[in-house]
Every structure is written in C-alpha cells, then in structure tokens.
Structure 1
Amino acid sequence: MKDLTRFARQPVALAVVLCCAWGAHAQDPLAPATADPGALSPVVVTGERSGGGVWRGAASIDVVDGESLRDGQAQINLSEGLAGVPGLVIRNRQNYAQDLQISVRGYGARATFGVRGVRLFVDGIPASAPDGSGQVANFPLGGADRIEVVRGPMAALYGASSGGALLLYTEEGQHPAQWRTGMVSGSDGLWRLSTQATGKTGAPKEPGWSYALDVSRFATDGTRPQSAADRTNANLKLTRPHEGGRTVLVLNQHSSFALDPQGLERKDLDNGTLKTDPGAISFNTRKSVAQTQLGLAFEQALGGGHKLELMGYGGQRQVVQYQSIPVSSQTGPNNLGSSGGVIDLDRDYWGWNARWRHQGDWQGGRLSLSAGLASDHQSDQRKGYENFIGSTLGVQGKLRRDEANRASTLDPYVQAEWRSKDLTFMGGVRQTRTEYTSSDRYLGNGDDSGRKTFQATLPVVGVRWQWTPAVQAFASVGKGYEIPTLNEVAYRSGGASGFNTQLNAARSTSAELGLRGRAERFGWNATAFDIRTDDEIVVQNNSGGRATFQNAGRTQRQGLELSGNWRHGPVSLVSALTWMQAEYLDAFQTCARAGCPNVFPRVTVPAGNRIPGLPMQQAFVQATWDTGWAGSRVVFETRHVGRVMVNDQNSDSAVGHTLFNLGVHFKQDRGDWTWREFIRVDNLTDRRHVGSVIVNDGNSRFFEPGLGRKLLVGLEAQRRF
C-alpha cells in the first residue's frame, strides 16, 4: 500500500423582503451576459446569465462571482459563499475526512461522505466520476471567476445522477498581469496561505498564452479530538487563441490528510462536550487523498455559425482510509465476507466530449443548436485490509479484499434553444448508459464478481415568457435518473463485500414553475417545484464507516424558493428562503442498528415519513453597509436551518437553529497595489447546534456538531504589472 499520509503532508418584502435574490453574491441583474466559455462549457445551454439566474432562459441557475466567494471568506470550503443560493443545502461537517454535505432540491441528501446525486465541474472538466460520486475539496476557490448552480429539470442534461450541478470556472489571464497573495488565521489553529497569478504573454496585437495559476495551503487543529486536517491545492489554466478558436490546457493537483472524529450520539451531543468516540481514537481513524488531473479543450469555428468543440481529460486518484470497524466484525467464521477496516483505492479515470454547435437567426429570434457525444471512464483498484495486527489497532493488517471495479458511460445528446425578446423555448434529450463491472481477485470467501448496466433516455423542455419588461414567467419539466455509485453497490445486505446487483437506479419526473423580476434597485425570483421519484435509493445500514443501500419505492419533494436583492445608496440587502416537503410515499423495511439484518431484524418505515438529511426550511439574510470610512464595509448575516431528521424512522432529529455572523472588510487602492483586510466573527451568540447529520448511522452516532463562536482574520495584497 502506498504511503499516502507522507505524500499528503507535502506542501505544494417577505420576511424582510425575504424574496430580496441573490444579488450581492451574484452578478448585477442589469449586467451584460457572461462571455460564452466555449469548449470548456459543459452541456447545458444557459443563455444570458444575470442576478438570480438566467434572465432570458427557462432554467433555474444562480451565478456567484469569484469576488463574492473570496471577499471576507476563508476560501477553504465551498459552503462559505453559497449560503444564499435557494434550493441548495451545503453544510460543513467539520470533518475534512468526509468532505461537505451537499444536496440540491433533496438530491444527494443520503451521502454519508462526498457528494452524490449532484454533478460537479471545474472549467468544464468533470469533478464527478462516471458513477456519480464526487468531491469539492479540490475546487480552486482562490482563482474562481464564478460558480453556476443549476437546479431543476434542466440539470438532467448533464447525465445520470444530475439532480443539480455546480460549475466552477476559473479566471482568465488578462493584460495587465496581476499577482495577489493572501493569508487567513482563525480559531482552532486554522490557517490558509494562497497565491494567484494571471496574465498574458506576447503583445496585444499578437497574443500568446494567457495563464492563471492558483496555489493554496490550509491546515487546522480541528474543533474536536481526532479532527486535525491539512490540504494543498494547485490549479493552472493556459489558454491560447488561434484564428476562429482557442486551445485550453488545465492542470489540477490536490493532496490532503485528515483525521476522522466521526459523529456523536445523542447523549454526548446533549452534554455539550465536543468529544470523539473512543473507537475513532483507538483505531486512529484517518484518510489520505492524492489526485492529479489534466484536461485539454479545443474549439474551432467552421463558418456559417457552426463550431466544433473537443474536450478530453484524464487523471489519477489515490485514497487510503482507516476505519473503526471492530476486530470482532472482521474475524471468525461468521465474518468471512468482511473486507477489513482499511480501504486502499487507486483510481485511473479519463473521458472526452465532442460537440457541434450552430447559432443563427431564425423566425425573428436567435436559434442555438448543439449535438454531441460524451464518454467517461473510471478504473478502481480496490483493496481492503484488516485494521489491526495482533493487539495493535489502527495499522494495516492482512489482505481481505482485492478487486477491480470499472464504470464507463457513453451518452449522446441533442439540445436546442430559440430566443426572442419576449419568448424562449429550450429543450434537449440525453441518452445515458453506464456499465459497471467488478472482478474479484480475492477468492478466499467466494467469487464476488458482478456486472450491471444502467440506461435511460432523459428529455427536458422549458419555456420563458416576457410578461412585462420587468417580469418574466418560466417553466420546465423533464425526466431524471440517479444511479447508485460503485461504493453503494460494493456491499450486500448486512455489510458483506460483493457486488450488490439488486440495487436499481432511481427514476424521477421533475417540474418547476417560476416568476422573476428586476427593477433599478430590486431583483427577485420565486420558483415552485415538484419532484416524484420511483425506486428512491436510501441507506439501509451504516456502521463503522461502511454503508449498504436499497431501493425504497416512491418519494415526493415539493418546495418553494424565494430570493432577491435590494440596494439603496450604501446599504444593500440580500436574502433567500427555501421551503421543501420531502417524504416517502411508500412504506418499506430498513435497518435501525448495527448488525441488521444478520443479528437484529429490520423495522418498517411508514409512508409519510420525512426524508432524512433535509431541512424543511432554510433562510439566509445578509445586510451590507458601505461606511465610506477607510474603504470599510460592515456585513451582518443571519442563517437559519430548520429541523433535520437523522434516519428514515424519524426517531430523532437535529433541532433547527439560527446563527448570526458579523464581519468588517477594508480595501485600499494605492497605485498598482490593492490591499484588503477583514475580521469576521461567526456564530456571534455561541449557539450550540448540529452542523450536519450522518444519515441512518447504525451506531446512532448521527450528529456532527457545528462550530461555536469563531474568530477569523485575513489579509490580501494585489499587484498589477
């Protein structure tokens, strides 16, 4: 097994006008459209981007600019700058071994680690694997130009497991060249250093390569025992124009090491002690990750409004994780199928996307057509070891698992958009096919090889109507399709290793209806949605870091998203509200504790229970005052999260909470230099709360406590050349 630990430590007017949209964080509603990202754009035709989403499109898309992501933020977690996007739940577990908890309109809520059901892209290159799993730890926040958050039926055009999509685009190098560097320090030994450099080679009349480099390093002692972490990210983008097109090269490298404090039981949470389960300490639970990725994109105009776009990428990811699975669960004649307590994963992945585009005038409007073929592949060499040698715990022991898992996709797609001043029609169809194969090379407990294919056709349509010059209505409907990840099919009922061929994909029908408006000082958006799913994928049992999954029948998610922005002189107000009722329509049986179903019987989940991991209400309000003194700005935030069920039985929940954050930002321009400083206090009232929950944990360690009152200070210097 590779020593990744050593590698990873190397440097390199509704509730204060609650529909007041996503403006201080997004682009101005009256701003011009963002330039077409061309070959690095993923699939969906997004039209004109503006505050609160797509002003002249038929989809729910919010655009958060890079300045908002960085201003007064630690630039460590994606959750810092996206709190005001309605329909998006993004919560910091305070556990860097498991990544953020992200869901979009309820998709992805079951994930016990990483991201499921939501597609991720960085500069058009997938950050999600073909099986739908992903992570956002390698998102280059310091060099981000913007993030687009896609919700609703149109997200299905990104392929299987696309209940939503997060698309990050990095900055483009420009004249004059710029360099900036920044540092942040905070409570619990937290610190971050980062440097960005952008520019262009050559002369303005004969430009060469434009470049954008972002390098960052972060570390923390953690809020609980066994929660320290560190991370290093580096991202380089090179762009070179040529007659009728351009070539883009993207290189990304990520390494991290994190201890895993695991969740808390109810009794420990109520005691108010930020303790860690003894099993995590004794087994020294931890995770190391190393990833390198290279992407190349090419676009060429063909004349007559036609364009060819080609994109290819490849990379390698290595993961080593030590879990706290008891020795007794790995040994003895009743545990021959155990895969041990150490995961050793080597992944090679690659893919490509070839697309034809055409734009032209037609019938008094602008017609955009595209058709393409996308393919993605991953090859996982997965080994499992016992996490003990004799009486010594938390070390690599005997081999218990050795298999090769592969996933491959081949998706043709077609899209069209016709847009005039008063009308927009959007539509598309994507045929998705994913094939899984598993080859077992550890036959001491039988052959656990298997194969399964998932396929579906996903049509979507949408329309936008200009009701008045300041108000629009839009609607869309489409089919969705979520496949289980390779990790979710890796264990059979009871937790034994072996390909779970009984787990099927979930199929859904999603619809949304919305209104949006804009005025000189005010912009707003209101969207209602309804999602009905068959064969919902749910956690059956989750114990010791190992989860098994099953299909639970029908579910329904209905909700309302309200957002907007208002500005008058030096004062601005931004707020967003999400209300969602997510419930099971069919009763089903599941496991309530570790050892089920081999030792303990299943229990019945009645129809009407709420889907766990999802708050019914979520609200965000931010007030900003530009004081006019020394370039200062005062920012006050209120964040509310409603009650969250922790399991399918709804036997316990994390109570709702409201947090208040206060920050003061400063900015000084001195010739070619710009200086920025900030001081920020999160959770002003030191409110005890649950930051996130571990859905259906078999040991009842559901709760991951949120941060108490924390101080954060930062300094950034920028130079133009």
Structure 2
Amino acid sequence: MNTQFDNDLTLLMWSSGYGHEPMVRYLLGRGADKQAKDNGGLTALELARSAGHASVIAALAALGGGSGGGVVLAQTLPEVVVSASRAEQLSFDAPAGIQSVARTQIQSGGPQVNLSEALKRVPGLTILERQNYAQDLQLSIRGFGARSAFGIRGIRLLVDGIPATTPDGQAQSSSISLTSTDRIEVLRGPLAQLYGNSAGGVIQSFSKTAPKETELESQQFLGSYGLRRANYQFGDTLGAYAIVADYSFFSIDGYRDNAKAERRQFNAKLSFDPTEDLGVSVIFNQFDMPVAQDPLGLTRENLIANPAMAGTGASNYFVRKTVLQNQLGASANYRFNQHKSVLLRSYFGTRDNLQYQVGTPGANASGAWTGLARNYYGLGLQYNAKELYGGVPVQWVGGYEFDRAREQRQSGAASLGQKSTTTRNEDNQSENSDFYVQGTALVNASLSAVFGFRHSTVRFTSDDYYLKDGLDGSGSKAYSAVNPVVGVTFHATDDLNIYANFGRGFETPTLSEMAYKISAPASSAPVAEFNPSLNASVSRHFELGAKWVIDSRARLDLALFKIDTTDELVVAVSSSGRTAYKNAPGTSRMGWELAATALLTPTLSTTLSASGIDAQYAEAFQSEASGVITKVSSGNKIPGIAQTSLFSELVWSSQAKNPGKAGEPLGARVSVELSHSGRLFANDTNTASADGHTVLNLSASHRWLFGKLAVSLFGRLNNLLDESYVGSVIVNQNALQFYEPGLPKNWSLGLRLSAPL
C-alpha cells in the first residue's frame, strides 16, 4: 500500500498528483500514509496543491489529509477559484486578493437586479448605489474605475470566460444576469494585470450548472418605489447535453423623479461533451432596456432641499437612455491528458445605445442626443499544462487573445426628447492583440513562485463622415506594453500562507474619453474630434498578503498594497456637456484589505470585510470647467474613492451547515448586515465631498419542501434606521450636480418556486 516507486512516489502520491479523486479516497480508506514524502520532500497533499486538483485536496482534507485545519476551511467556507491562476485552485492557495461570492449570498442580497447587492461584501471593491439605471453602477477596485461618469472603466469583466469588456476598457454590469449566476469571483492586485488593458481588477461570473433532471423555477419580487422583478428558469440534462435558460423582467418607478426603468434579460447556456476529452459550452444572452430615465445629479442645495427631486433639466428635456445588446459566445476545452489541455473561445455581439441629454447653450439649447451602434467580436486560445522541470512541479498557461469593437457614433440636437439634427457621424474602432504566459512553481514544500507577462497592443481608429462643420475628426492611435508579474508565497504551515507580488499594468483611454479634444490652448470648449494626444497610464503594483486559517471554523485574509501610476487620465476641460481629458503627472494609492469568515456555532456564522485607501495626486496640475481654471494641488485625494469601507454580516440558520451536502438547505435563514462607507470626494480640487455613512439591513428567508416542490420566501429591509446619505457622486460634474442620493428605508419581498418534472 505504501511502497515507494520511481522518485519515491507512493500510489497515494501518484493518484493525488494526477487528480484521481476516487482512487485517493479508496487508498485513504485502506490506510495509505498521508505523511510520506517523495524525493523532493512533497506529501500527497502538496502534490495535489501544486497540480491544482481542488477536489483531491478536499478529499484529503475530509479524510484527514494534512495536519492543520487550513484545507478543511478552504473546503467548508467556499472557495474554489480560477481567476488567479486561470486554473482551478482553492482560494486559500491563491497568492492574491481574491474572493468568491456564492449563489446563496447572491440570492440573499436582494431581488438580484444590481451587482452591488452581491459584491458589497468584497474588500477593496467600491460599488456605489446610484439609483440611476441610465448610467449603470459606479464600480472601482483599489481606486481603478472611480473616474467613470457612466458604465465600468478600468476593470475587466468576464461572463463564463467570455469577455464583457471591450478592447478600450469599457463594460456594463448589466452583462451579468444575476438570476442565472452560480458564483462571482473578484480578483485584485498584480495578478489582475495579466488580463490585459484596464485590468485594475477582474470580476468574473459563472453560470449555474444544469440539474440532472428537468427542473422549472420561477421567482417574483415586489419592493419599494414600484420595484417589480420576475424571472423564469428552465434546466435539464439529456444525455451529454445540459442546458440552463433564464428569462427575467425588471421595472421600477424610482425613488427620485424621472427615474423609471424597465429591463428584460435572457441568458442561456448549453454544455455538451462530443467526446470523453472534449467539452463545449455555448452561451447566448440578450439585454433589452427599452427605457431608463436619467434623474441626473443634484447640487448640494437641491440635495438638502429635496433628495427625491430630479436634477436640473432632467424632466424638461426627457433625459433617458435605451439599450439593446445581444451576444453569442462559445468555448471548447480539449483535454490531451490529465496534465495538458487547450481552450478555445470565441464570441460575437451587438449593442445599440441611444441617449437623450439636457440642453446646453449654443447649438443644443433644446436638448441633445447621442447614439452608438456597436458590433464586436473576439477569439482566444489558451494552453494549460502541469509539468516537472528539474524536479520542480510547474503549472503554467500560455495564450493569445484578439478582440475588436466597431461602433458608429452619431449625435446632434434634440427637441422635446426627439432627434432634430445630426451634427456628428463617425466610425470608431478599437482592437487588442495580446499574448500572455503565467505559471506557478512549487519550489519546495514551503515555497512557491508565480511568474508571468502579457504583451498587449491596443489600436484605435476614427473615421469622420460629417465634414459640414469644416472639421475632420479622423485619426488613429496605437498603444503597446509588456506587463510582467512576479511573486513568491511562503507556505509557513498548512494553516498560513504569506505572499508578496509585483506587477505592472497599463490603461488606455476609452473611445468615449478620446471623443473630444481642445481645439486650441485659448479655447475653453472641447470640440467633437478624435483626440490622439492621450497617453496610456502606466501603473506599478506592490502587494503583501497573508491567509490564515485560525482553526477549522475561521479564516482571515489580509492584504497591503501600494500602487504608483503615471499619466493618469484626468479632466482637462469640461463645458457645455462635453469633456476633454489629459494626462496627469502621477498618482499614488496605498491601502489595506481585510476579509474574515467564522462559523461561531453550527447554526451561527459571521463575515467581516474592511478596507482603507489613501489615493492622491502625486503632483499638481490644472483643469478647467465652464471657463474657470482651477489648480489641483499635490496631495489632493482622487475623487470617487471611498477612503474607508466596511461590511459585516451575522447569519443564523435553522439548519446546521453541512459542507459535504450539495444543494440549498431547508429551513430559515436570518441575517443582520452593517455597511459603512467613508468620505467621498466629488472633484479633483476636493472642494466638494459626501460625508461617510453607515447603513443597517435585515434579511430573512425560509425554504420548504412539499413533495418535489421547493418553496422559498425572501424578505429584506434596507436602511433600517432611515439614514439620509449620498450613495454616489458624479466626478467633476461641471454644473456642480455631483450628488446622487441613496435610498431611505426600503423593502423587498420575494417568492421562489422550483420543482423537477
């Protein structure tokens, strides 16, 4: 049973290293020696870790493999992740700041409309609640993405491995259908830089796995301010084919004036295995938002007088947005053997966006409109391998990615919320061509190393077809960078990992940020021309972290980071609803992140996440708004970044947790949440800011089983103490309408029915 063969490998070591979970369980049951070591000093557990076989690691832990509780906790307090190394591994072993939000947490967070419901528990991530469905969430990771006035910038978004971020770094959180999502991973720090341009962090969602038999599910939610949410889901497995299809509908009247919204979303995933070694997935999703009124921001005076009012001109100009997006993607994973595989993915999509805006002095005094008709596609090829080099186990990946987005940008004047003229018509294109390598080497039983680089080339072109104004906004620009990442992890004990990483990243301007430029030094009004003068910002990331399993019921993650950036994009001139950008000399970010999870009793658990960041401009520069030139001093805080944040949750369940049992438990679940967000500056000069706030939330659910019919009831009461606060700020808004108020006390109720057929 414990005979050692070549390289002093026992049968248990060989099975663990090759990922044969059934054989591992059999050998352990027969008394195989878990502490035996090969000629490199590695145990069966360490060989499984080096190869990334999470199921084998869990089996070794469940049956007593390993001297400490570390592996047990990684199994019992979720977390198998893939984003850090692009291969399956336990989050405890991932040398990075990474959290996984499970399906139970997504479900309990609310009606599953906004990412903020689920991701507020992730340290280092600021996700501001705007209550403005026309402009999407404001989301930043370690300060990246904070400057965005709409949509997501500076963060990579992936859905089932398919990019939801365009080559220029733009994304929309609505690409993720929460009702059909099984888990969401959030990766922060240097390793995120290996995902390419604008990778200040990575958010990756994974769809539900199809049930083994036909199953139907329906959810209905009602809530404050006319919230209505319904979704219908079908899942089934027929032989080698598995499908999950989900349709959802959402509408709301809104807390504020001019804040109605309506959404329809369809998401479907088909998986099948043509052969034993080939797995294929096909994903289709559609997002249809026929109307989303924009309440705009408020001035400080309006905020105090009536936070429920709309901003100046929102109602008079019928300010709103419509969106229709369709995307089809596919991936194929071919396994050559237990240690080598190749992954191919491709996708194609379209997105039509039409937005009506407030009037500005001059040509667009009666209102304005902007339309974007985008088509995009991409492909990627990735090779995964686990090999021995000089007796050192190395797990590595290498790949190539090409993505292209082309959009027709039009704009002009509007009258009473309808198009009246067209004064801009151009084709804009962005594309990236990248290749990357990433590897992890288990140097010895106590030390592992991570290494990698990504070579990125990003190209922009603009063809101007509206020449009646005497201006030709055509142009092109290319950016290129090689971004390395290196790190080491000291496996002090089975219960403690300490890691240090360094990485370099870069972030190009988006097409929206290149849409206007300053025509002359003396001019204070940006003109609608492609701006090729902007540089890509370059960042250097340093991270030191530790992951500690206190005992079999508690775990603590801590990360310290420092980020220095040159050529950060900032506002150069903002006037008449147009914004031109320029590069600032430099910025600095220093901070910490803490995540803790503990099982206090078999039915009582707690979660704590907290972070702090000091993000500031390292050198002074000037900006201009509506003809007024202001100086931004060195040391000023970067706006849009909460200086401190905290999330704490205490959960009681009527059923004791059973990590080995699949499926959602029956019975009751009650939780108390405490969320805190620190001071939020609204402009570069730091003359406007929103005070910090603390919000208390309650949630409860109960699940029954009547024969085969599962019935679940959900209820939430948010902002229990009815605190008045600012949920978000519009950074550098030139009319001083910075503030978007958070919701007062509000509620939601939900019912879910599911049954196999």
Whether these two folds match at TM > 0.5 is yes
Number of aligned residue pairs: give it.
665
Decide whether the 8 Å contact of 1:138 with 1:233 is kept in 2: no
Task: Tell me, in whole angstroms, the C-alpha distance in 2 between the residues paired with 1:674 and 1:433.
Answer: 51
By how many angstroms is 1:278 displaced?
A: 3.6
- Residue 300 of structure 1 is matched in structure 2 by 334
- Residue 210 of structure 2 is matched in structure 1 by 173
Decide whether the 8 Å contact of 1:151 with 1:165 is kept in 2: yes
Which one of the candidate residues 186, 209, 220 is aligned to 2:252? 220
Decide whether the 8 Å contact of 2:509 with 2:535 is kept in 1: yes
Matched residue type, 2:424 = R
Q: Secondary structure at the match of 1:387?
A: strand
User: Does 2:179 match 1:156?
Assistant: no
Decide whether the 8 Å contact of 2:109 with 2:117 is kept in 1: no
Task: Tell me, in whole angstroms, the C-alpha distance in 1 between the residues paired with 2:572 and 2:737.
Answer: 15
Decide whether the 8 Å contact of 2:80 with 2:89 is kept in 1: no
Decide whether the 8 Å contact of 1:583 with 1:608 is kept in 2: yes
Task: Tell me, in whole angstroms, the C-alpha distance in 1 between the residues paired with 2:726 and 2:453.
Answer: 41
Q: Secondary structure at the match of 1:281?
A: coil
Residues 482-512 of structure 1: per-residue CA shift (max 9 Å, x gap): 1110000001133310011221110010010
RMSD: 2.0
By how many angstroms is 1:540 displaced?
A: 3.2
- Residue 184 of structure 2 is matched in structure 1 by 147
Matched residue type, 1:301 = R
- Residue 600 of structure 2 is matched in structure 1 by 568
| Residue pairs, 1:37-52, within 5 angstroms | 44-45=85-86, 47-49=88-90
User: Does 2:322 match 1:288?
Assistant: yes
Specify whether residues 542 and 624 from structure 1 end up closer, same or farther in structure 2 by C-alpha distance, changes over 3 A only.
Answer: farther
By how many angstroms is 1:424 displaced?
A: 2.5
Matched residue type, 1:525 = D
Q: Secondary structure at the match of 2:191?
A: helix
Specify whether residues 277 and 48 from structure 1 end up closer, same or farther in structure 2 by C-alpha distance, changes over 3 A only.
Answer: same
By how many angstroms is 1:541 displaced?
A: 4.2
Decide whether the 8 Å contact of 1:42 with 1:158 is kept in 2: no
Task: Tell me, in whole angstroms, the C-alpha distance in 1 between the residues paired with 2:77 and 2:276.
Answer: 25
Q: Secondary structure at the match of 2:418?
A: coil
- Residue 67 of structure 2 is matched in structure 1 by none
User: Does 2:403 match 1:376?
Assistant: yes
- Residue 428 of structure 2 is matched in structure 1 by 405
Residues 169-201 of structure 1: per-residue CA shift (max 9 Å, x gap): 101213133322111100000010012222211
By how many angstroms is 1:362 displaced?
A: 5.0
Using the size of structure 1 for normalisation, the TM-score is 0.89
Q: Which moved more, 1:540-549 or 1:190-199?
A: 540-549
Which one of the candidate residues 442, 449, 454 is aligned to 1:425? 449
User: Does 2:373 match 1:346?
Assistant: yes
- Residue 416 of structure 1 is matched in structure 2 by 439
- Residue 705 of structure 1 is matched in structure 2 by 741
Specify whether residues 304 and 150 from structure 1 end up closer, same or farther in structure 2 by C-alpha distance, changes over 3 A only.
Answer: closer
Q: Which moved more, 1:485-494 or 1:159-168?
A: 485-494
- Residue 653 of structure 1 is matched in structure 2 by 689
Q: Which moved more, 1:112-121 or 1:57-66?
A: 57-66
- Residue 65 of structure 1 is matched in structure 2 by 102
Q: Secondary structure at the match of 2:173?
A: coil
Where is the helix percentage greater, Structure 1 or Structure 2?
2
Q: Which moved more, 1:686-695 or 1:369-378?
A: 369-378
Q: Secondary structure at the match of 1:70?
A: helix
Task: Tell me, in whole angstroms, the C-alpha distance in 2 between the residues paired with 1:623 and 1:693.
Answer: 30
Q: Secondary structure at the match of 2:179?
A: helix
Which one of the candidate residues 408, 431, 437 is aligned to 2:461? 437
By how many angstroms is 1:304 displaced?
A: 7.3
Residues 562-619 of structure 1: per-residue CA shift (max 9 Å, x gap): 110111222211111101000001000012x3x2xxxx24211010000000111101
Task: Tell me, in whole angstroms, the C-alpha distance in 2 between the residues paired with 1:129 and 1:42.
Answer: 19
- Residue 487 of structure 1 is matched in structure 2 by 512
- Residue 554 of structure 1 is matched in structure 2 by 586
Q: Secondary structure at the match of 1:466?
A: strand
Residues 248-296 of structure 1: per-residue CA shift (max 9 Å, x gap): 1111111112000000000011224411124111110000000100011
- Residue 30 of structure 1 is matched in structure 2 by 75
Decide whether the 8 Å contact of 2:360 with 2:577 is kept in 1: no
Q: With a CA cutoff of 8 Å and minimum separation of 6, indicate the structure with the bigger relative contact order.
A: 1
Q: Which has the larger radius of gyration?
A: 2
Decide whether the 8 Å contact of 1:44 with 1:158 is kept in 2: no
| Residue pairs, 1:145-544, within 5 angstroms | 145-202=182-239, 208-241=240-273, 242-256=275-289, 257-303=291-337, 305-326=339-360, 328-330=362-364, 341-362=368-389, 366-388=393-415, 393-419=416-442, 422-445=446-469, 446-493=471-518, 494-518=525-549, 519-542=551-574
Specify whether residues 383 and 459 from structure 1 end up closer, same or farther in structure 2 by C-alpha distance, changes over 3 A only.
Answer: same
Task: Tell me, in whole angstroms, the C-alpha distance in 2 between the residues paired with 1:28 and 1:231.
Answer: 39
User: Does 2:156 match 1:119?
Assistant: yes
- Where in structure 2 are there 5+ consecutive unaligned residues? 1-71, 519-524, 657-665
Q: Secondary structure at the match of 2:106?
A: helix
Task: Tell me, in whole angstroms, the C-alpha distance in 1 between the residues paired with 2:608 and 2:83.
Answer: 29
Q: Secondary structure at the match of 1:188?
A: helix
Decide whether the 8 Å contact of 1:74 with 1:184 is kept in 2: yes
Decide whether the 8 Å contact of 1:44 with 1:157 is kept in 2: no
Residues 142-190 of structure 1: per-residue CA shift (max 9 Å, x gap): 1111111010000011101000010001012131333221111000000
Task: Tell me, in whole angstroms, the C-alpha distance in 2 between the residues paired with 1:326 and 1:143.
Answer: 42
Residues 7-36 of structure 1: per-residue CA shift (max 9 Å, x gap): xxxxxxxxxxxxxxxxxxxx9623499778
| Residue pairs, 1:614-693, within 5 angstroms | 614-627=641-654, 631-693=667-729
Identity in percent? 35
Residues 661-700 of structure 1: per-residue CA shift (max 9 Å, x gap): 0122111123322211122110011100000000000000
4+ residue stretches of structure 1 with deviation over 4 A?
A: 31-36, 41-44, 361-365, 541-545, 627-630
Task: Tell me, in whole angstroms, the C-alpha distance in 2 between the residues paired with 1:646 and 1:702.
Answer: 6
By how many angstroms is 1:520 displaced?
A: 1.2
Q: Which moved more, 1:236-245 or 1:181-190?
A: 236-245
Decide whether the 8 Å contact of 2:108 with 2:699 is kept in 1: no
Specify whether residues 197 and 581 from structure 1 end up closer, same or farther in structure 2 by C-alpha distance, changes over 3 A only.
Answer: same
By how many angstroms is 1:46 displaced?
A: 5.2
Q: Which moved more, 1:408-417 or 1:622-631?
A: 622-631
Q: Secondary structure at the match of 2:419?
A: coil
- Residue 6 of structure 2 is matched in structure 1 by none
Specify whether residues 659 and 44 from structure 1 end up closer, same or farther in structure 2 by C-alpha distance, changes over 3 A only.
Answer: same
Task: Tell me, in whole angstroms, the C-alpha distance in 2 between the residues paired with 1:106 and 1:615.
Answer: 9
By how many angstroms is 1:72 displaced?
A: 5.1
Matched residue type, 2:135 = Q
By how many angstroms is 1:547 displaced?
A: 2.9
Task: Tell me, in whole angstroms, the C-alpha distance in 2 between the residues paired with 1:230 and 1:364.
Answer: 59
Matched residue type, 2:329 = G
Task: Tell me, in whole angstroms, the C-alpha distance in 2 between the residues paired with 1:656 and 1:698.
Answer: 23
Matched residue type, 1:622 = E
Specify whether residues 35 and 512 from structure 1 end up closer, same or farther in structure 2 by C-alpha distance, changes over 3 A only.
Answer: closer
Task: Tell me, in whole angstroms, the C-alpha distance in 1 between the residues paired with 2:234 and 2:384.
Answer: 32
Task: Tell me, in whole angstroms, the C-alpha distance in 2 between the residues paired with 1:546 and 1:44.
Answer: 41
By how many angstroms is 1:548 displaced?
A: 2.3
Specify whether residues 648 and 264 from structure 1 end up closer, same or farther in structure 2 by C-alpha distance, changes over 3 A only.
Answer: same
Specify whether residues 373 and 553 from structure 1 end up closer, same or farther in structure 2 by C-alpha distance, changes over 3 A only.
Answer: same
Matched residue type, 1:86 = P
By how many angstroms is 1:71 displaced?
A: 2.4
Decide whether the 8 Å contact of 1:121 with 1:128 is kept in 2: yes
Specify whether residues 288 and 48 from structure 1 end up closer, same or farther in structure 2 by C-alpha distance, changes over 3 A only.
Answer: same
Specify whether residues 530 and 34 from structure 1 end up closer, same or farther in structure 2 by C-alpha distance, changes over 3 A only.
Answer: closer
By how many angstroms is 1:305 displaced?
A: 2.9
Task: Tell me, in whole angstroms, the C-alpha distance in 1 between the residues paired with 2:115 and 2:341.
Answer: 34
Which one of the candidate residues 630, 635, 644 is aligned to 1:603? 630
